[in-house]
Amino acid sequence: MAAAPDHLFNLRNNFFLGAFQAAINNSDVPNLSPDDAVERDCLVYRSYIALGSYQLVINEIDDSAAPPLQAVKLLALYLSTPDNKESTISSLKEWLADPAIANNAILRLIAGIIFMHEQDYNEALKHTNAGGTMELHSLNVQIFLKMHRSDYAERQLRVMQQIDEDHTLTQLANAWLNLSVGGSKIQEAYLIFQDFSEKYQMTSLILNGKAVCCMHMGNFDEAETLLLDALNKDAKDPETLANLVVCCLHLGKPSSRFLSQLKISHPDHVLVKRSSSAEESFDRAIQSVA
């Protein structure tokens, strides 16, 4: 018996590769089952979140919506009001304690994303480690890499490869792991992003992936070209701005404008925090000498 067609394949793929507006624009998919319709809506609202349209998501998802959509709304609330994130995390923990919905894959995924943002990796893994979907497995890879445990990340990748070696998320996870391991694996990561760029719409995610590989290989001129192309697509993308700062420093070019943009649009970015910390240390050193 033939497998049922995957009506959401293109929508998912657009979302996974960072083509968020394309995901939104092509979301009117006919003949969806009720479960598929909820998944479609989750992907569309997560695309709006990725584009920074938090309030739209908060306004449109009401209290009668399905639990997965409520979880997506929680993510929008968490990202839109950093000063009130304790309240959002408290609500999230209440839901995770409810046996009726605690095992919902989207709720577990959102929990993993929020706790990863909080850098509470052990708490994130409590909800994601059991896997169950390709997105949960790929999030596990990201969490393990942030914990500097490439060995555990590799185990997760092997699970994904056994499920579907050609899946977009499997390929992305493979590229992330290769970048983390470094050395000869950088070229393999570059080829994965190159393959994406030939098959799919070029996005900031793909351009940044290629650029980071180029920087690892010492090709900073090519990296700069890719990153400026990414900047044209999204002038506020934090990874593009951060990578441009690093790239310009290596090329001996001014980077202060990109760092200023990053400070304004994403004040909590790790590069901003490191820069501020370095400036404070420098100021303290000057004062001690004065």
Q: Which residues contact 80 (CB under 8 A, 6 or more apart)?
A: 54, 55, 58
Length of the chain as a residue count: 290
Low-confidence ranges of the chain (pLDDT < 50): 1, 282
Got the DSSP string for 130-148? Answer: T--SHHHHHHHHHHHHHTT
Which stretches of the chain are assigned E, i.e. beta strand?
Answer: none
| Of 229, 230, 241, residue with least CA distance to 272 | 241
Whole-angstrom Cα distance, residue 156 to residue 97?
26
pLDDT digit string (tens) for 188-236?
999 999 999 999 999 999 999 999 999 999 999 999 999 999 999 988 8
Q: Which residues contact 174 (CB under 8 A, 6 or more apart)?
A: 157, 161, 188, 189, 192
Q: Which domains does the chain have, with CATH numbers?
A: 202-289 (1.25.40.10)
Query: Taking the C-alpha atoms of 219, 221, 222 and 224 in order, what is their torsion angle to the nearest 10 degrees?
Result: 120
Whole-angstrom Cα distance, residue 209 to residue 87?
35
Whole-angstrom Cα distance, residue 120 to residue 108?
14
pLDDT at 282: 46
Cβ–Cβ < 8 Å for 177, 157: yes
Phi, psi of 209 (to 5 degrees): -60, -50
What one-character DSSP code corresponds to residue 5?
P
Residue with tokens 């304790």: 86
CB-CB neighbours of 255 under 10 Å: 18
Tokens of 145: 């890499």
pLDDT at 255: 86
